[in-house]
Structure 1
Amino acid sequence: MTRPIARRRLLSLALAAALAAPVQAQEFEPFTVSDIRVEGLQRISTGTVFTYLPVERGDLLDRTRSSEAIRALFRTGFFDDVRLERQGDILVVVVEERPAINRITLVGNKDVKTEDLTKGLANIGLAEGETYDPMALDRVTQELLRQYNNRGKYGVTIRPTVTELDRNRVDITITIAEGKASKIRDINIVGNDLFTETQLRRGWESNTSNWLSWYRRDDQYSREKLSGDLEKLTNYYLDRGYVDFNIESTQVAISPDRRDIFVTANVVEGEVYTVSDVRISGDTVLPQEDVEKLLMIAEGDTFSRARVEFTTDAITATLGNIGYAFAQVTPVPTLDRDNRTVALNFYVEPGPRVQVRRIVFKGNTSTADEVLRREMRQFEGAWYSQAAIDRSKVRLQRLGFFEEVDIQTPEVAGQPDQVDVVVNVKERNSGQFTFGLGYQETYGLITSIQLVQNNFLGTGNRFSLEVQNNSYSRQFGFSYTDPYFTDDGISLGYNLSYRDLQYASRDSNLARYDNTVASADVQVGIPLTETDTVQFALGIDRNEITTSDGSTPPPLIEYLVATLGDRAYFPCFDVDDDDDETTPPENDDDDPGTPDQQACGNLRQWNVNAWRLQAGWLRDSRNDYLMPTRGSYHRIGGEVVLPGSDLEYYRINYSYEKYLPLASWLVLKIGADVGFGDSYGDTAKSNCPTFDNEGDVITDTAKCGLPFFRNYYVGGPGSIRGFETNTVGPTYSFSGSGFPQPLGGSLKTLGNLEFIFPTAFETRAARLSAFVDVGNVYLGYDDWEAKTLRISTGISLTWQSPMGPIAISYAIPLQYERSDRIERVQFTFGGTF
Structure 2
Amino acid sequence: MQRDHSLGALLRWGLSAGLLAGSFAGWPAAGLAQTPPTVPPAPASSLPYQARALVAGVRFVGNETTKEQFIQSQLKTRKDREFDPEVVQADVRRLATTGRFHKVDTYTQETPEGILVTFAFTERMSIREIKYLGNRNINDKTLAKQDGLEIGDSLTPYAVEEGRRKIEEYYHSKGFGKTQVAILEGDQSPDGRVVFVINEGQLERIASVKFVGNTIATDERLKTQIKSKPGFLWYLFKGQVDRKQIDEDIERLTAYYRALGFFNARIGRELQFSESGQWLTLTFVIDEGPRYVVRNVTVAGNEKFPTQTLLDQMELKSGDYFNLGKMNRDANSLRDIYGGQGHIFADIQADPRFLEEPGQLDLVYNVKEGGVWRASRVNVHIEGEHPHTREKVVLNRLSVRPGDILDTRELRASERRLKASQLFQNDPMTGETPQVVVRPPELQDAVGNVADGEGPRTGMYRGQSPGGSY
Give the distance between the partners of 2:388 and 2:202, measured in 1 at CA.
48
- Which of 408, 423, 447 lines up with 1:385 in the alignment? 408
Cα 1:269–1:110 change in 2 (3 A) is: same
Give the distance between the partners of 2:184 and 2:438, measured in 1 at CA.
46
Matches within 5 A, 1:138-287: 138-143=161-166, 145-147=168-170, 149-150=172-173, 152-154=175-177, 182-185=204-207, 187=209, 189=211, 192=213, 194-195=215-216, 198=219, 201-206=222-227, 208-209=229-230, 217=238, 220-221=241-242, 223-224=244-245, 227-228=248-249, 230-236=251-257, 238-239=259-260, 241-243=261-263, 245-247=264-266, 249=268, 259-261=278-280, 263=282, 265-283=284-302, 286=305
Contact 2:424 2:433 survives alignment (8 Å): no
* Match in the other structure for 1:302: 321
Q: What amino acid maps onto 1:95 in structure 2?
A: F
| Alignment pair present for 1:396 and 2:408 | no
Give the distance between the partners of 2:197 and 2:94, measured in 1 at CA.
34
Q: Summarize deviations over 1:424-477 as a string: whole Å, max 9, x none.
A: 24345428xxxxxxxxxxxxxxxxxxxxxx74xx499xxxxxxxxxxxxxxxxx
Contact 2:209 2:281 survives alignment (8 Å): yes
Cα 1:259–1:413 change in 2 (3 A) is: farther
Cα 1:347–1:144 change in 2 (3 A) is: farther
| Alignment pair present for 1:72 and 2:94 | yes
Cα 1:260–1:413 change in 2 (3 A) is: farther
Give the distance between the partners of 1:252 and 1:33, measured in 2 at CA.
74
Q: What amino acid maps onto 2:118 in structure 1?
A: V
Deviation at 1:296, TM superposition (A): 0.6
Contact 1:319 1:327 survives alignment (8 Å): yes
* Match in the other structure for 1:44: 69
Give the distance between the partners of 1:111 and 1:183, measured in 2 at CA.
16
Contact 1:159 1:176 survives alignment (8 Å): yes
* Match in the other structure for 1:349: 368
Q: Secondary structure of the residue that 1:301 maps to in structure 2?
A: coil
Q: Secondary structure of the residue that 1:227 maps to in structure 2?
A: helix
Contact 2:208 2:281 survives alignment (8 Å): yes
Contact 1:362 1:422 survives alignment (8 Å): no
Q: What amino acid maps onto 2:411 in structure 1?
A: A
Deviation at 1:48, TM superposition (A): 2.0
* Match in the other structure for 1:85: 107
Give the distance between the partners of 2:407 and 2:333, measured in 1 at CA.
17
Contact 1:206 1:219 survives alignment (8 Å): no
Q: How high is the TM-score relative to the length of structure 1?
A: 0.37
More displaced 10-residue stretch of structure 1: 422-431 or 298-307: 422-431
Give the distance between the partners of 1:259 and 1:76, measured in 2 at CA.
45
Give the distance between the partners of 2:163 and 2:136, measured in 1 at CA.
14
* Match in the other structure for 2:459: 430
Contact 2:208 2:282 survives alignment (8 Å): yes
* Match in the other structure for 1:669: none
Contact 1:52 1:73 survives alignment (8 Å): no
Q: Summarize deviations over 1:95-138 as a string: whole Å, max 9, x none.
A: 356799999999999999x89996x88xx7x679x865645565
Contact 1:186 1:263 survives alignment (8 Å): yes
Deviation at 1:414, TM superposition (A): 4.3
Cα 1:142–1:202 change in 2 (3 A) is: closer
Give the distance between the partners of 1:371 and 1:160, measured in 2 at CA.
66
Deviation at 1:373, TM superposition (A): 2.0
Contact 1:213 1:219 survives alignment (8 Å): no
| Alignment pair present for 1:94 and 2:113 | no
Q: Secondary structure of the residue that 1:315 maps to in structure 2?
A: helix
Give the distance between the partners of 1:312 and 1:215, measured in 2 at CA.
46
Contact 1:334 1:342 survives alignment (8 Å): yes
| Alignment pair present for 1:406 and 2:428 | no
Give 5+ residue unaligned stretches, structure 2. Answer: 1-51, 187-191, 466-470
Identical amino acids, percent of aligned pairs: 14
Cα 1:261–1:318 change in 2 (3 A) is: farther
| Alignment pair present for 1:360 and 2:385 | no
Contact 2:228 2:246 survives alignment (8 Å): no
Q: What amino acid maps onto 1:75 in structure 2?
A: T
Q: What amino acid maps onto 1:316 in structure 2?
A: R
* Match in the other structure for 1:552: none
Cα 1:397–1:253 change in 2 (3 A) is: farther
Cα 1:252–1:202 change in 2 (3 A) is: closer
Contact 1:183 1:260 survives alignment (8 Å): yes
* Match in the other structure for 2:443: 415
Q: Summarize deviations over 1:389-436 as a string: whole Å, max 9, x none.
A: 4763574366276463335648569428847445324345428xxxxx
Matches within 5 A, 1:132-143: 132=154, 134=156, 135-136=158-159, 138-143=161-166
Q: How high is the TM-score relative to the length of structure 2?
A: 0.59
Cα 1:300–1:175 change in 2 (3 A) is: same
Q: What amino acid maps onto 1:201 in structure 2?
A: L
Q: Summarize deviations over 1:456-507 as a string: whole Å, max 9, x none.
A: xx499xxxxxxxxxxxxxxxxxxxxxxxxxxxxxxxxxxxxxxxxxxxxxxx
Cα 1:204–1:379 change in 2 (3 A) is: same
Q: Summarize deviations over 1:355-397 as a string: whole Å, max 9, x none.
A: 5753433446465254862575475756373663476357436
Deviation at 1:291, TM superposition (A): 2.7
Q: What amino acid maps onto 2:296 in structure 1?
A: D
Cα 1:33–1:52 change in 2 (3 A) is: closer
Deviation at 1:295, TM superposition (A): 0.8
Contact 2:130 2:193 survives alignment (8 Å): yes
Deviation at 1:93, TM superposition (A): 1.0
Q: What amino acid maps onto 2:74 in structure 1?
A: V
Cα 1:69–1:178 change in 2 (3 A) is: same
Give the distance between the partners of 1:92 and 1:411, measured in 2 at CA.
56
Q: CA RMSD in A?
A: 5.6
Q: What amino acid maps onto 1:302 in structure 2?
A: Y
Q: Secondary structure of the residue that 1:73 maps to in structure 2?
A: helix
| Alignment pair present for 1:312 and 2:331 | yes
More displaced 10-residue stretch of structure 1: 256-265 or 341-350: 256-265
Deviation at 1:338, TM superposition (A): 3.5
Give the distance between the partners of 2:273 and 2:196, measured in 1 at CA.
27
Give the distance between the partners of 1:366 and 1:174, measured in 2 at CA.
54
Contact 2:457 2:464 survives alignment (8 Å): no
Deviation at 1:279, TM superposition (A): 0.8
Cα 1:368–1:253 change in 2 (3 A) is: farther
Cα 1:430–1:70 change in 2 (3 A) is: closer
Contact 2:228 2:245 survives alignment (8 Å): no
Deviation at 1:39, TM superposition (A): 1.0
Q: What amino acid maps onto 1:385 in structure 2?
A: T
Contact 1:151 1:222 survives alignment (8 Å): no
Give the distance between the partners of 1:385 and 1:258, measured in 2 at CA.
58
Deviation at 1:203, TM superposition (A): 1.9
Give the distance between the partners of 2:200 and 2:420, measured in 1 at CA.
38
Larger Rg: 1
Q: What amino acid maps onto 2:121 in structure 1?
A: V
Q: Secondary structure of the residue that 1:392 maps to in structure 2?
A: helix
Q: Secondary structure of the residue that 2:76 maps to in structure 1?
A: helix
Give the distance between the partners of 2:407 and 2:122, measured in 1 at CA.
59
Give the distance between the partners of 1:428 and 1:184, measured in 2 at CA.
44
Cα 1:109–1:387 change in 2 (3 A) is: farther
Give the distance between the partners of 1:372 and 1:298, measured in 2 at CA.
45
Higher helix share: 2
Contact 2:211 2:219 survives alignment (8 Å): no
Give the distance between the partners of 1:361 and 1:174, measured in 2 at CA.
53
Give the distance between the partners of 1:111 and 1:236, measured in 2 at CA.
38
Q: Which has the higher contact order (CA 8 A, sep 6+)?
A: 2
Give the distance between the partners of 2:289 and 2:258, measured in 1 at CA.
9
